[in-house]
Amino acid sequence: MSEQEIQDWIGKQVASNDVVLFMKGTREMPQCGFSMQVTQILNHLGVEFKDINVLDNMSVRDGIKAYSNWPTIPQLYVKGEFIGGCDIVREMFQAGELQDLLTAKGIAHNAQTLTA
């Protein structure tokens, strides 16, 4: 696939799924700690999401970085909006901002917050 075809494919995934996580591995078997943390947060909140394993296709792995102009993976998208990587998602979750964003975007989730 050409670079443009990869960008088009990524755009279609982001546009046609409410919540998409471009990650290393799968939700059942994350292949890096950062992907695992974001998966755990989404699972904790009961969020339905599409997981896309960038390790399956190097063109997608490189393409998502160009698509978002963000250098790292994982990358979380909600209703077409790039949210960020692991650190941003974790900080938003801990502050309750991720839950607020999900509510504002109409994404079903458990309204649980982090407990120490």
CATH number of the domain residue 70 falls in? 3.40.30.10
C-beta of residue 55 within 8 angstroms of C-beta of residue 41 = no
**Count of domains forming the chain:** 1
Residue type, 52: I
Q: Per-residue pLDDT tens for 60-99?
A: 999 999 999 999 999 999 999 999 999 999 999 999 999 9
The burial class, CB within 10 Å (0-12 / 13-18 / 19+), for 46 is: exposed
User: For residue 30, is it within any domain?
Assistant: yes
97 vs 59: CA distance, rounded Å? 32
pTM for the predicted model, two decimal places: 0.93
User: For residue 52, is it within any domain?
Assistant: yes
User: For residue 33, is it within any domain?
Assistant: yes
User: For residue 113, is it within any domain?
Assistant: no
